[in-house]
Amino acid sequence: MSEVGWDADPGVAGWPGLPALSGDLRADVCVVGLGGSGLAAVGEVLRRGLSVVGVDAGRVAAGAAGRNGGFLLGGPAISVHHAGAGWGLAAALELYRQTLDEIAELARLLGPEVVRQVGSLRIAGLPGEPADELEEADRQAELADCHEQHEVLREHGIAVRRYDGELGAGLFLPDDAAMNPARRALGLATLYGGDPGRARLFENSPVTAISAGRVQTAAGAVSAGLVVVAVDGRLEVLLPELAGRVRTARLQMLATEPVAPGRLPCPVYGRWGYDYAQQDQAGRLFVGGGRDRFLDQEWTTRTSPTAGVQAWIEQAAARFAGAPVRVSHRWAASVGYTEDARPLVTEARPGVIACGGYNGTGNLVGPVAARAAVALGLDGVPPPACFSS
């Protein structure tokens, strides 16, 4: 029961695949990693009228890009008022606005069948009555934090409403959206790969070496004026000089058999964002979280689900469903974290720009970072203050 639940979608299961790189190629830019950020980098290079080769170690969206919660949430990984306290409110708000623009662009490119513009809910705690006094105290603290977030967003013109309903109390963010993350990536790969004269994309081509102007795989190599490494989890393995700046963690999820339709009207996250769920149109829940309960063991590059975290997520799934659930799929993925929650956009080696470390929320921040990486590599434009360079 370790298959990724998102892959049961016919649009993912029917993916025809891309070839593996064989032989040597040349392009203006080589992009390593074809998840959400890598594909955004490919799109940005094409927008500039340049040629690009993209390579991925496995299938497009086989890593975190296709294994995450499918949330399209505006803003940085941590709430905007916390980000503002750490690295400046202006920088945090600018990232927030860019991620909202990214939702609109994805909706334009992929349409409503892939991007569902339904908003999101942040609730204090988990749905249902608190299990004990400790959970109740934490819920009250989170409600106070929701109030702070509400005030900052309203003050700066970002849509937000208070929520008090069947699922709990907190905030409704109407500009957010939901998706099947694998469908998003495969849709973009199809779109950008449709211009083979300028974009050539390859799956199942693990990179063995990266240097200025050259990316080597087991069966071929790419020569390029610029290399963009758009990899989140295991970035410090691929580029060891980034160890200490980014650290890989495991995030775990499960999918359930259908529950009452409409139970979750939009993506819902609670308990400070550690637990999260969305419901598809068939009624299935996709639920993740629990990393904070097993923090030491989840700092790992392994991607196999574990019994302890999965047990926690299953309990959380029942709280989100409001009833017992039957699990159909369990899986995990590697993602990158940074100390201050700012993603990396940095020149890791001469001519090699790296972006990653999205702190568990790369669906929108990743593409924004990827475009900043391309601008850094091609134009010499330093990344904005919301990124660590």
Domain residue spans in the chain?
5-68+181-245+340-379, 117-175+247-337
Q: How many Å apart are CA 215 and CA 34, to the nearest integer?
A: 14
SS3 9: coil
- For residue 286, give the nearest of 249, 323, 313, 324 by alpha carbon: 313
The DSSP call for residue 67 is: T
**Domain 117-175+247-337 adopts which CATH fold?**
D-Amino Acid Oxidase; Chain A, domain 2 (3.30.9)
The whole-number average pLDDT for the span 148-152 is 98
pLDDT beyond 60 at 104:
yes
Mean pLDDT of 206-211: 97
Shared fold status for 5-68+181-245+340-379 and 117-175+247-337: no
Check: CATH 3.40.50.1860 for 5-68+181-245+340-379? no
Nearest CA to 301 out of 228, 232, 230, 387 is that of 232
Distance of alpha carbon 193 from alpha carbon 286, whole angstroms:
29
Which pLDDT belongs to residue 197? 81
Q: Which residues contact 64 (CB under 8 A, 6 or more apart)?
A: 35, 232, 233, 251, 333, 334, 335, 362
For residue 196, name the pLDDT band (cuts at 50, 70, 90): confident
Q: Which residues pair with 177 in a beta bridge?
A: 72
Rounded percentage of the chain residues whose pLDDT exceeds 70: 99
Predicted TM-score of the model (pTM): 0.96
What pLDDT sits at residue 195? 77
| Distance in angstroms (rounded) separating the CA atoms of residues 167 and 139 | 13
pLDDT of residue 2: 55
**Token pair belonging to 121:** 């809910």
Residue 273 has pLDDT above 80, yes or no: yes
Query: What is residue 100's predicted lDDT score, i.e. its pLDDT?
Result: 98
pLDDT digits (tens, 9 = 90+) for 296-354: 999 999 999 999 999 999 999 999 999 999 999 999 999 999 999 999 999 999 999 99
| Three-class secondary structure of residue 362 per DSSP | helix
Residue 291: HSE in the Cβ half-sphere, 13 Å Cα cutoff: 24
pLDDT tens string 23-70: 999 999 999 999 999 999 999 999 999 999 999 999 998 899 999 999
Q: What is the DSSP track for 187-227?
A: HHHHHHTT-TTTEEEESS--EEEEETTEEEESSEEEEEEEE
